[in-house]
Amino acid sequence: MKNQEETLDPSDWTEVRELAHRMVEDAVRHLDEVRERHVWQPIPEEVRARFRTPLPTGPQPLGDVYEELRENMLPYAMGNIYPRFWGWYMGSGNFTGALGDFLAAIDGSNLGGGSTAAAMIDMQVIDWFKEMMEFPPTASGTLTSGGSMANLLAHTITRNMMAGVDVRAEGIVGIPRPLRFYASDQVHSCHQKALETLGLGARSLRMVASDERQRIDLSALEAAIAEDRAAGVAPVCVIGTAGTTNTGATDDLKALAALCRREGLRFHVDGCIGAFLKIAPENRALVAGIELADSVALDPHKWLHTPFEAGCVLVRDADRHFEAFEMHGEYLQLQTRGMIAGKFLADYGLELSRGFKALKIWMSLKENGAPKLGRLIDQNIAQARHLEGLIAADPRLELVAPVDLNIVCFRYAGGLKDEVALKEVNTEIMLRIQESGFAILSDTTVAGRHCLRVAINNHRTTRQDLSVLLSEVLRTGAGVAHERARSAATVSTVGKKTPIIHERKAEGA
Ligand SMILES: *Cc1c(COP(=O)(O)O)cnc(C)c1O
C-alpha cells in the first residue's frame, strides 16, 4: 500500500467493472422478461427479516451485497413496470431513464446551482416543458420530487403574493384576512396538505361541487367566491385540475382562466395527470387553456414514464417565483464569474442541494422525441375507450363514471343489488386479483358508488391485457358472488380463493 489514507474507490477496478456489467445485463433481462413474472407478490417473513439486521460494522464484497438484492429486493417490487399494473396512478418507468439516473450520479453535480452542463440540462428541460405547455419563454420553473411538492411551491408563491403583508418577514400571523383557495371536490389531497403546511389551514381550501362529469361547477364556484368576499374572506386562487385522480376529468380551464381574470384571482392548474396531454396529437384539446394559467404542476414520473422521482412546477411570473424562495447565506453569495456564476437553481424551491433529475427526462425526450411520448398518451386513452366498450357490452359489468381519459371506473354487478354487497364483492375481486400477481387495479368511490379503478398509465399495456383483465374480473366476480350467496350473511367470503389462471395459460403462450 502506498499510504494509509482510505477512499471509497477500489484499489483495482477490474472486479467492480465486471460486476457492474453483470448488473446491466441482469437489468436488461429483468425488463425483457417483465411479462413472465408476477406483477406483485407478498414479501415472505424470512425476506422481511433480511431487512431488519443491525448496522453493518464490517466490510462485505459488493458482489454479495448485489446477490442479496437480486434475491430479496427485485422479486418484491411494486410492479408498476409490469404491463398489467393499473393501480392508483403511476408511470411505468423506462430503461433510458434508469441509465440517466446512473449517469447523473456518475456526473455527481449538485443541481442547487453552479456553472455546469448539468445545470444547463436542468434549465433546458424546464424550457422544453414551457414549450410543451405554451408558456412564454420568460416564465420560470423548477424540477421537484413530484406533484405534491410542485403544488406546494405554487401555493407558496400565491400565498406570498396575495397575503397583503410581507409573509416572508411577518409570517402568517400578519395576514389580515383569511385567504381562500378554490377547487372542485375531486381535487387531489396534496393541496390540502400543502395549505396546511403553509400555515393557512385546511379550511383555506374550499371544495366546490363538481358536475355529472366530475368537473368543477362554474356557477357554484362563482357563488362560493361571492359568499366568501361578503364574509370578509380573501379569495386568492382557483385550482383547476387537468385530469382528476379519481376519474381523469378535466375542468373547463379556459372558463376558469377567464373567471380568475375577472375576479383578480390567481389561476393554478394541477396537471399532474393531464398536463402532458399538450403533446398528445389526438387529445391535446382536452387541456386547452392550460397555457393561460399563472402556474402549472406537472408530473413527468406519471405520463412521461420518468423513473421516480420527477415533478415540475412552471410559473408565469419568474420574479414572483424567485422572490418566494431566494435565499443566500454568507457562504453562498452570488457571483458573476467562476464556479457558481449564473442562475442559482435553489432560488426556485425549498431544497438547496438538488439531484440531477433532469438527465433522465432529457435523455428520454432526446431519444424518443416529444411526439412519440405524446402518441403513447393517446394510446393509453384509446385503450381506456376500448375497455369502456368491452364493459358496456357486458351486462354483468357496470361503468361507474364516464371515461374521459385513461381511467376506467367500473364494477362487477352480476345479480348484485345493494351498494353494500357491490362494495364487498368488488373489494374482494380487487384483492384476489392483486394477490394472485396477475394484475394490479385499485378502487375508489365516485358519487357514492364504490368501484374498481383501472388507470392505464403504462407504455407496456396492450389491449389484449385489458381483455384478459375483464375475463379475470368476471370469473373472480362470479366465484365471489357464488361463495357469498352460499354462505350465510354471518360468514365472511374472505379466505376461499378462486385460483387465478396464470398468464402464459391465459394468453395461450
Ligand atoms: C399524483 C397526483 C398528485 C401528487 O403528485 P405526486 O407526484 O404523487 O406527489 C397531485 N395531483 C394529482 C392530480 C395527481 O394525480
Query: From the CA of 330, how far away is ligand 1's center (Å)?
Result: 36
- pLDDT of residue 396 exceeding 70, the answer is yes
Give 216's DSSP letter: B
With the most atoms of ligand 1 within 8 angstroms of its CB, the residue from 80, 272, 301, 312 to mutate is 272
Exposure of 168 by Cβ count < 10 A (0-12 exposed, 13-18 middle, 19+ buried)?
middle
pLDDT level of residue 490 (50, 70, 90 thresholds):
low
With H, G, I as helix, E, B as strand and everything else as coil, classify residue 240: strand
pLDDT at residue 343, rounded to an integer: 83
The DSSP letter of residue 497 is P
Q: Ligand 1: residues within 6 Å at CB?
A: 89, 146-148, 188, 190, 241, 245, 270, 272-273, 299, 311
Nearest to 251 by CA among 282, 223, 275: 275
Reported as a single tens digit per residue, the pLDDT across 408-452 is 999 999 888 899 999 999 999 999 999 999 999 999 999 899 999
Q: Cite the DSSP H helix spans in 108-208.
A: 117-133, 147-162, 167-170, 190-197
Per the DSSP assignment, residues forming a β-bridge with 183 are 207
99-371 classified as CATH 3.40.640.10: yes
Q: How confident is the model at residue 492 (pLDDT cuts 50, 70, 90)?
A: low
* Rounded distance from Cα 389 to ligand 1 centre (Å): 28
Q: What is the pLDDT of residue 331?
A: 78
Q: What would you report as the CA-atom Rg of the chain, rounded to the nearest whole angstrom?
A: 25
CA dist 391 and 395 (Å) reads 8
Mean pLDDT, rounded, for 195-209: 98
For the beta carbon of residue 60, count every other beta carbon within 10 angstroms: 9
Q: Outline where DSSP puts E strands in 158-222.
A: 179-184, 205-208
Distance in angstroms (rounded) separating the CA atoms of residues 298 and 296 = 6
Indicate which residue's Cα is closest to atom 14 of ligand 1. 272
Task: Check pLDDT > 60 for residue 495.
Answer: no
Atom 2 of ligand 1: nearest residue by CA position: 272
Q: Is residue 386 very low, low, confident or very high in pLDDT (cuts 50, 70, 90)? A: very high
Which ligand 1 atom lies nearest to the CA of residue 299? 7
Measure the CA–CA gap between 264 and 380, rounded to whole angstroms.
37
3-class SS at 56? coil
SS3 123: helix
Q: What is the pLDDT of residue 335?
A: 81
- Counting ligand 1 atoms within 8 A of each CB, the residue from 299, 303, 357, 456 with the most, and so the one to mutate, is 299
- Long-range (24+ apart) CB contacts under 8 A made by 384-388 are 384/248, 384/408, 384/454, 384/456, 386/463, 386/466, 387/454, 387/456, 387/466, 387/469, 387/470
Q: How confident is the model at residue 329 (pLDDT cuts 50, 70, 90)?
A: confident
pLDDT band at 223 (very low <50, low <70, confident <90, very high): very high
Residue whose CB lies within 8 A of the most ligand 1 atoms, among 155, 187, 273, for a mutation test = 273
Please state whether the peptide bond connecting residue 309 to the residue before it is cis, i.e. omega within 30 degrees of 0: yes
348 Cβ contact partners less than 8 Å away, ≥ 6 residues apart: 140, 141, 142, 153, 321, 322, 325
Mean pLDDT of the chain: 94
Residues 6+ apart with CB under 8 A from 122: 111, 143, 345, 356, 357, 358
- pLDDT of 66 above 50: yes
β-bridge partners, 335: 341
| Domain residue ranges of the chain, discontinuous segments joined by + | 14-79, 99-371, 372-497
Q: CA-to-CA distance for 474 and 477, rounded, in angstroms?
A: 5
Give distance in angstroms: CA of 90 to centre of ligand 1.
9
What pLDDT, on a 0 to 100 scale, did the predictor assign at position 506?
A: 39
Q: Among 99-113, 127-141, 480-494, which is the least confidently predicted range? A: 480-494
How many other C-beta atoms can be found within 10 angstroms of the C-beta atom of residue 319? 11
For position 508, what pLDDT does the model report? 35
Euclidean distance between CA atoms 314 and 321, whole angstroms: 9
pLDDT of residue 501: 47
- Give pLDDT tens digits for 308-318: 999 999 999 99
pLDDT in tens, 249-269: 999 999 999 999 999 999 999
- Tell which CATH classification among 3.30.420.40, 3.90.1150.170, 3.30.1330.10, 3.90.400.10 matches the domain 372-497: 3.90.1150.170
Q: What is the pLDDT of residue 417?
A: 82
- Cell reading at 245: 385522480
Q: What percent of the chain has pLDDT over 70?
A: 95
- Closest atom of ligand 1 to 271 CA is 13
Q: How many residues in total does the chain contain?
A: 509
**pLDDT digit string (tens) for 272-298?**
999 999 999 999 999 999 999 999 999
